[in-house]
Amino acid sequence: MDTECGTGDCLGWAARDPSGTLSPYKFDRRVLRSDDISLKITHCGVCYADVIWTRNKFGDSIYPLVPGHEIVGIVKDIGSDVKRFKVGDHVGVGTCVNSCRSCEYCNDFQEVHCSKGSTHTFNALDSDGTITKGGYSSYIVVHERYCLKIPDGYPLDKAAPLLCAGITVYTPMMRHKMNQPGKSLGVIGLGGLGHMAVKFGKAFGLKVTVLSTSESKREEAIKLLGVDKFVISSDKQQMESITKSLDFIVDTASGDHPFDPYLSLLKVGGIMALVGFPSEIKIHAASLNVGAKTISGSLTGGTKDLQKMLEFCSANEIYPDIEVIDIHYINDALQRLTKSDVKYRFVIDIENSLK
């Protein structure tokens, strides 16, 4: 281990500076409180957020920074007041580990929209004055409210991406009633989020069209993911062929892209849900006004939606497509992620490789 490894009983991998290079790092977790769970982490999904904050792309990174907010593991200890979980349970932790728990949004279990600001799983100020550190680590201590029960029999490695990639597309799909069999769904982008939107769409009984810039993804989208149509969004003729044919669109693209061409694909009253973070949105008013269309934003989701999604995935055998990696491969994996070179989500085998 390097000379900056630190001390403490929790072993993680941390970035030390905006290079984003991760290496072993020891630190202390907070002492278990009466309403906390101590979770031995078995797996952690790799999200583009891990690239953003390890490399200080938003200018607010606090080093050493331990990323990871798609966390799955096994309960190893519980506080005296914990009622929902017991030692040995399979549990997940997503993008939020604290909130005020008293505002209208927390009361509605939409903790990510907490009026006083939710506490992110890593790189955020926690209630004890420390900076939160994420799932690229051996264990984590979290208030039981922000822990989710992984249904019995659901593979832990495949559960991890549901806690960010899965819930990020599930939440707007449920909010806008994109679960009506026979309706038509367009999915912009076929990465970690996009492939989950496809899987949910097919499970809901929708006719799914993938809108992509990559011809190389066509065969896999149709044969393995079962999409009904695959359209190259830069091909004007292909786009015109599906004008006014979609009831809904989920836009997972975070790079800057035009919006008017996609809005033209919606039927009257159609809805586009934006879950990516392009630097700006430019649209002509007519793209919305003509046809009474809607464009809406969405973040991840609260604990109630997370639990419902996990149970839905278990009941319907919906599994993310993942590439399981060793923690020692993480720097290569993050580099590959910046090039969209993964089908469709990296998951770190924490239990067997973080030693």
168-190: pLDDT as tens digits: 999 999 999 999 999 999 999 99
Look-up: residue for tokens 């590439």? Answer: 323
Does residue 5 sit within a domain?
no
User: Is the predicted pLDDT of residue 2 greater than 70, yes or no?
Assistant: no
Residues 16 and 153 in one domain: yes
Q: 149 and 209 in one domain? A: no
| Residue 45 pLDDT level (bands cut at 50, 70, 90) | very high
Does 286 reside within a domain? Answer: yes
Same domain (yes/no): 119, 215: no
103 lies in some domain: yes
The pLDDT of residue 127 is 87
Q: What's the confidence (pLDDT) of residue 7?
A: 81
Domain membership flag for residue 170: yes
Residues 61 and 173 placed together within one structural domain of the fold: no
17 and 150 inside one domain: yes
Domain boundary among 280, 297, 314: 297
Q: Indicate the pLDDT class of residue 254, thresholds 50, 70 and 90.
A: confident
73 and 141 fall within a common domain: yes
**Is residue 321 within 8 Å of 45, Cβ to Cβ?**
no
- Same domain as 22, residue 95: yes
| Domain-ending residue, one of 273, 297, 321 | 297
Residues of the domain holding 253: 166-297
Residue 4 pLDDT > 70? no
Q: For residue 126, is it within any domain?
A: yes
Q: Give the residue carrying structure tokens 């069209």.
A: 209
The tally of domains found in the chain comes to 2
Angstrom distances, CA of residue 275 to CA of 69, 151, 157, 305, 336: 17, 26, 24, 16, 22
Spatial CA neighbour of 118 closest among 306, 304, 307, 300: 300
Is the domain of 171 the same as that of 158?
Answer: no
For the stretch 241-253, pLDDT in tens is: 999 999 999 999 9
Residues 156 and 177 in one domain: no
- pLDDT of 327 over the 60 cut: yes
| Residue 4 lies inside a defined structural domain of this protein | no
Residues 218 and 320 both lie in one domain = no
Residue 1 pLDDT > 80, yes or no?
no
Q: What is the domain-level CATH number for residue 268?
A: 3.40.50.720
Average of per-residue pLDDT across 201-222:
94
Answer yes or no: is 1 within a domain. no
Indicate the average pLDDT of the chain.
95
For residues 310 and 250, membership in a common domain is answered with: no
Tens-digit pLDDT profile for residues 217-230: 899 899 999 999 99
What CATH code is carried by the domain that includes residue 160? 3.90.180.10
* 109-164 per-position pLDDT tens digit: 999 999 999 999 999 999 889 999 999 999 999 999 999 999 999 999 999 999 99
- Same domain? For 154 and 172 the reply is no
- Comparing CA positions, the residue from 348, 344, 342, 350 lying closest to residue 330 is 348
DSSP annotation of 6 reads B
Phi then psi dihedrals of residue 133, to 5 deg? -130, 135
Q: Mean pLDDT across the stretch 331-351?
A: 95
